[in-house]
């Protein structure tokens, strides 16, 4: 497990989650090495493709990480390049794990980010780590395949798999629904087109998720386990709209666009965080209204957030 001032490698370091996690780890005194597809932003960052075994082997050798957090992925479920989803999420992870397994100094912990969308529609029941699995998109299938493939490295690497539910926060951009709604309120738009307003999802703040990941690198006894990253509380799209209306003092006309209504989407998708809390301790979650207010603050010229 990672201790203070350890060397930690984060893939997808320039992404939405990666930026927050790197900030969190540096604040704890770790030296963070970032792997991105963007131009290197500093001496501890590398630009590399997950499909390049030689490049990954060299990065692992030079970083010599005590821990690895693998976030790099094609994360939008309806990404246009279906083959690319599997190349990145499955084959790219395989290439990384092979490099780590062959390293002279193997990491003490490897955290792999999967997704809660590997689960079946649970109806009204909270989803536990033992709930039925039934992915319905190529993204979710690629992540479940990644989990199964990673098990083949369990004897060589101390793996922890996380299945995050929905999360959002400062820095997230469209096409995800929460930043779309936030932007419309920040710009004081008259109309917004959305899908089903009454679907309920388990939303967390990305900064809470980053804190959980950092804790999972530090606590003992979690290697070989899988954890839901969730709050256990559901929030509807309608409630998000209502909260933003209260924060901004602006009312917006919501029009339902049938193209945004997906019959396959579960009405309620909420996780059970008991196993996670038992492993990392109590979770100091950021209130969702605070998350939305902080996202509004990214539009300082047009948003009029009120306390």
Closest CA to 181 of 124, 236, 118, 218: 236
Contact, 195 vs 169, CB < 8 A? no
**Segments in the chain forming alpha helices (H):** 16-27, 53-63, 82-86, 92-102, 138-150, 177-186, 206-218, 237-248, 274-280, 288-296
CA-to-CA distance for 65 and 3, rounded, in angstroms? 12
Helices (H) and strands (E) in the chain, counts: 10, 14
- State both tokens at 43: 């001496």
Backbone angles phi, psi at 135, to 5 degrees: -65, 145
Catalytic residue among 86, 139, 167, 213: 139
CA-to-CA distance for 148 and 112, rounded, in angstroms? 12
What does DSSP say about strands 200-201 and 235-236: parallel, antiparallel, or unpaired? antiparallel
Q: Please indicate whether residue 213 is annotated as part of the active site.
A: no
9 three-class SS: strand
Just list the catalytic residues: 139
């Amino acid at each position: 497990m990672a201790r203070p001032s350890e060397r930690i490698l984060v893939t997808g370091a320039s992404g939405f989650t990666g930026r927050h996690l790197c900030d969190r780890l540096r604040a704890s005194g770790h030296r963070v090495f970032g792997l991105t597809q963007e131009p290197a932003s500093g001496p501890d960052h590398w630009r590399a493709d997950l499909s390049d075994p030689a490049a990954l082997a060299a990065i692992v050798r030079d970083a010599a990480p005590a821990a690895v957090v693998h976030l790099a992925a094609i994360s939008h479920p309806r990404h246009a390049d279906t083959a690319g989803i599997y190349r990145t999420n499955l084959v790219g992870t395989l290439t990384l794990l092979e490099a780590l397994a062959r390293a002279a100094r193997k990491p003490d912990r490897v955290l792999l980010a999967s997704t809660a969308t590997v689960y079946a529609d649970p109806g009204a029941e909270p989803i536990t780590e033992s709930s039925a699995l039934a992915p319905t998109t190529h993204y979710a299938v690629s992540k479940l395949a990644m989990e199964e493939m990673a098990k083949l490295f369990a004897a060589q690497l101390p793996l922890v798999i996380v299945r995050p539910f929905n999360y959002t926060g400062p820095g997230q951009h469209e096409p995800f629904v929460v930043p779309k709604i936030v932007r419309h309120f920040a710009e004081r738009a008259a109309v917004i087109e959305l899908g089903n307003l009454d679907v309920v999802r388990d939303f967390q703040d990305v900064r809470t998720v980053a804190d959980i990941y950092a804790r999972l690198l530090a606590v003992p006894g979690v290697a070989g386990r899988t954890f839901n990253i969730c709050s256990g509380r559901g929030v509807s799209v309608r409630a998000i709209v209502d909260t933003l209306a209260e924060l901004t003092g602006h009312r917006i006309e919501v029009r339902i666009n049938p193209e945004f209504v997906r019959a396959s989407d579960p009405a309620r998708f909420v996780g059970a965080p008991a196993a996670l809390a038992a492993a990392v301790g109590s979770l100091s979650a950021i209130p969702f209204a605070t998350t939305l207010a902080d996202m509004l603050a990214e539009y300082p010229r047009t948003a009029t957030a009120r306390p």
